[in-house]
Structure 1
Amino acid sequence: MPVRLDNIPAPTESPSPPSLWVWLALLVLFLMVGFGLTLVLSQDAAAQDSTTFWRTSLGIPLLIWGGLLVVRLMVWVLQQGQAEGFNEQRFLDLSNRLRQGRRSLQIVASSFYSAAHEGNDGGTAGQIEALLSNRSALKSQPARGREEMVYRHSQLPAALVSAAQSDEETYLLGLYRRVLSDLAKPLSSLPTTQPLALLLETECALTDEHRARVWARAWRESGITQEVVAVKGTGLAAIDHWLDTRSNDPALLLVVAMRLASGEQDGTAETAVGLLLSNRQRQGGLIPRAYLHRPEQERTTTADDLLYAAQQALTWVPLPVAAVEHVWLSGIAPTRQPDITKALLDLPCLVKPGLGLYDLGASLGHAGCAAPWIAIASATEAAGINAKPQFIVSGAEDATQMLWCTTLTGVPPSSK
């Protein structure tokens, strides 16, 4: 559920106190009118007792003026109390929303593979270097296991999984094993009683039943001893929901996302991503590599709403826009590129098209369900290199789907 700040009403201005000069003028007017009426209405003003005359001509107007002043002061005090009470409640509401919006997750481990990976144990460094250089891995090549089908896409390196030329079920099993092997290392330092939640997203030609069978086998063989419980949701919406409902949960969140080329569609990417996240209040002895702040989704597919979502995502850090020097794009439909360009030009940041901008769609292709996760994993590696805040815009192949904006910040050296 998004945290909204734009629907908080503006603070109420405190009412102005009664004007001294106005009430002094009213006092003079009341006294003049009282004196005149006493003279006019008195049958024999000259014969009246002077004390009675002055008490009537001046005392009664003074009492009326004083009564009205008391009523006016009471109204002012009541309005002042209402304004202060409203502003206090507004401040509490704003503080609660900001506190909720500024929740974040720690990225304690990451594993990701793409066509930019060299397929060996030292391939991660070369992979992030290639992505930071915006080198394209897209090329026209046969689909894996189907030599007659040639289209422009990026494939995971054959050396990554020994079963690269096997059937898709065996290949997916190899990828699951590879990612879980990377994430099993930090999990091995935790007790077996450590709660573990799983967000699993896989996009391939296999049926849901086959995917579940492959995942179950990979999990059994991974050596991970913690029990895992699946969570509902997909993409960054699941992160948003987690921050709303489980920010104090001791459980770690394990994200595994796979996208295999499953059809003749140009511009697609094969990727395998694994992330291990924890709540900041529940570190569990693991050293964070980066902080993933609350994502913000645009409300409509317009440039103005995208700009608002970007500004709001930066507010959750909080981080001045000028501090952003690196922006990652992933899963952006071609029709939304003009909106991205306009939003970047409107933001007073150092990133402009062609400068500090890393478009994974252009270098790797569209990663499908893994699009936001490959961007987060890439930004995590980049933050460890340049120690700069990373900004991410991710989406889906469908141009009607709203984009997500999120900020990733590195861990200060003193905190490691």
Structure 2
Amino acid sequence: SSGLGGIAHWLDHRIKDESMLLAVGLQVDPVVSNNTAEAAVALLLGNRLTQEALEPLALLHRPDASPPGELSEGMNMAAWNVPLEENILKNLWLAGMTSEQRAEVIACQNSHPAQSIENESVISLDMSMGHAGAAAPWLAIAAATEIARQTQSPQMIICGDTTQNVLWSTFITPIASRQEMDP
């Protein structure tokens, strides 16, 4: 699995492992150079239930995939596992999207759980840096993690996938929130 699908697979099949997951995203010298970015990102992820070797910077919550036309449901499902107080989200990070996917995000932007996010707090990495290809979701996670750490506020991420036509929704919460809803 690639992108956030790799995280979902890891959580589904390796939840009890004491190992960590090293996620690497890389885009160098893209064939099309217009509105693209070169990026290299490496993230070391540990399961909060089994990993004690390193102190986490923030919590990445289980992502949820949405096929075209179902982003609202995917956003709600991703939020279901996250202990969020109403209207607490401060930023929405967007990355790796087609124009059709971006239009769907705009249509869902003012609904739960993103309804409290102001337009100026929607950060499109594709627009500000260029499309980072397979590195886009990891770049969004890295940036959102740092802002969650600095501000101690939850962050929402919606990103595309380079291998399938889905949008992934996930959340980063500060380590102070150190919990997750259990199904």
**TM-score, length-scaled by structure 1:** 0.41
Report the number of matched residues.
178
8 Å Cα contact 1:314/1:320 also seen in 2:
no
Write the mapping of 1:53-202 to structure 2, written as runs, cut at 5 A.
none
Alignment match of 1:412 (pick from 149, 172, 176): 176
Amino acid at match of 2:169: C
Report 1 or 2 for greater relative contact order, CA contacts < 8 Å, sequence distance ≥ 6. Answer: 2
TM-superposition CA deviations, 1:122-144 (whole Å, max 9, x none): xxxxxxxxxxxxxxxxxxxxxxx
CA distance in 1 between counterparts of 2:37 and 2:117 reads 25
Cα root mean square deviation, aligned: 2.1
Change (3 A) 1:308 1:236: same
Point out the structure with max Rg over C-alpha.
1
Which secondary structure state, in structure 1, belongs to the residue aligned with residue 109 of structure 2? helix
CA distance in 2 between counterparts of 1:390 and 1:241 reads 22
TM-superposition CA deviations, 1:227-282 (whole Å, max 9, x none): xxxxxx21111110111111110111111111112323411111110101111122
TM-superposition CA deviations, 1:41-67 (whole Å, max 9, x none): xxxxxxxxxxxxxxxxxxxxxxxxxxx
Task: Give 1:379 deviation, angstroms.
Answer: 0.5
CA distance in 2 between counterparts of 1:313 and 1:360 reads 21
CA distance in 2 between counterparts of 1:262 and 1:342 reads 30
Residue 244 (structure 1) aligns with: 12
Amino acid at match of 1:362: M
Residue 365 (structure 1) aligns with: 130
Residue 114 (structure 1) aligns with: none
Task: Give 1:347 deviation, angstroms.
Answer: 2.8
Task: Give 1:337 deviation, angstroms.
Answer: 2.1
Residue 181 (structure 2) aligns with: none
Write the mapping of 1:396-407 to structure 2, written as runs, cut at 5 A.
396=161, 401-407=165-171
Residue 97 (structure 2) aligns with: 332
8 Å Cα contact 2:30/2:36 also seen in 1:
no
Task: Give 1:311 deviation, angstroms.
Answer: 1.1
CA distance in 2 between counterparts of 1:293 and 1:321 reads 17
8 Å Cα contact 1:330/1:366 also seen in 2:
yes
Segments of 5+ residues of structure 2 without an aligned counterpart are 179-183
Change (3 A) 1:321 1:313: farther
Residue 68 (structure 2) aligns with: 301
8 Å Cα contact 1:321/1:347 also seen in 2:
no
CA distance in 1 between counterparts of 2:6 and 2:162 reads 19
CA distance in 1 between counterparts of 2:25 and 2:10 reads 17
CA distance in 1 between counterparts of 2:75 and 2:54 reads 30
Residue 57 (structure 2) aligns with: 289
TM-superposition CA deviations, 1:357-395 (whole Å, max 9, x none): 110000011111111100000001111111100100000
Alignment match of 1:254 (pick from 22, 37, 57): 22
Residue 117 (structure 2) aligns with: 351
Segments of 5+ residues of structure 1 without an aligned counterpart are 1-232
Task: Give 1:320 deviation, angstroms.
Answer: 4.1
Which has the larger share of helix? 1
Task: Give 1:411 deviation, angstroms.
Answer: 0.9
**TM-score, length-scaled by structure 2:** 0.89
Task: Give 1:285 deviation, angstroms.
Answer: 2.6
Residue 154 (structure 1) aligns with: none
Task: Give 1:321 deviation, angstroms.
Answer: 4.9
Matched, 1:375 2:143: no
CA distance in 1 between counterparts of 2:166 and 2:150 reads 30
8 Å Cα contact 1:360/1:375 also seen in 2:
yes
